[in-house]
Amino acid sequence: MPFASLNDLRNLEVQVLHPVNEEGEFLLDHLRRIGCTATMEWPIPHRPSEEADVVFLAIEDDARDEIKKFVSSLGKAGPTILAIVSYENPTALQMVLESGAMAVIERPIKPFGLLTNLAIARNSWQTQQNMQRDLRKFKRKALGDKQVSRAKLILMAKNGMTEAAAHEDIRKMAMAQQLSMEEVAQTIISSEGDLPKLLKRG
């Protein structure tokens, strides 16, 4: 769910991938003042830190290959990415888009707006994660419903049952075997040639 308050930002583990210079140190210090646990690293590693909730990623032309490798390592539940850019050009914009960044921080980095961008990016990331989770649940349910329907058709064809009776048989087998109806349906589909024994056992 989205953040209830900005206090939720204070416990974030933040990985700053930025050249070690005055600007990078400024960003690091400001994140720590917000309350984040922040570390800085350069050059860009092959993958994010396992502890990182958020990554500030400097988009540098001479680090293009490293950025691509880093981005390719990110999973669906990877950290929230905020891109740091010096200027807008097609190459930089393409790298920002490929990074999956939820927000963009412009150079020179200023304190004003940094917290807002972090909060918005993190909230957008959480919303995206929730949508992906709901989509996975929907797909599993749709597949399960399809399997149950197919299993009912098998029982109806093999045993001359009505749809309601086939559904009830699947439900009883699920209860007796302490399985879900989807699991029982898959067993019926896989054991289509041995239905009488399966029904007797249920």
Q: Which long-range contacts (CB under 8 A, 24 or more apart) does 117-124 make?
A: 117/82, 118/9, 118/34, 118/54, 118/82, 119/3, 119/6, 119/9, 121/54, 121/80, 121/81, 121/82, 122/3, 122/8, 122/9, 122/12, 122/53, 122/54, 122/80, 123/2, 123/3
Whole-number pLDDT of residue 5 = 57
Q: pTM for this structure?
A: 0.72
Question: Confidence class of residue 1 from pLDDT cuts 50, 70 and 90?
Answer: very low
pLDDT for 8-64, tens place per residue? 788 899 999 999 999 999 999 999 998 899 999 999 999 999 999 999 999 998 999
pLDDT for 119-160, tens place per residue? 999 988 888 878 888 888 888 888 888 888 888 888 888 888
- As a whole number, the mean pLDDT across the chain is 87
Question: Confidence class of residue 4 from pLDDT cuts 50, 70 and 90?
Answer: very low
Whole-number pLDDT of residue 195 = 52
Question: Confidence class of residue 196 from pLDDT cuts 50, 70 and 90?
Answer: low
Name the more confident of 125 and 66: 66
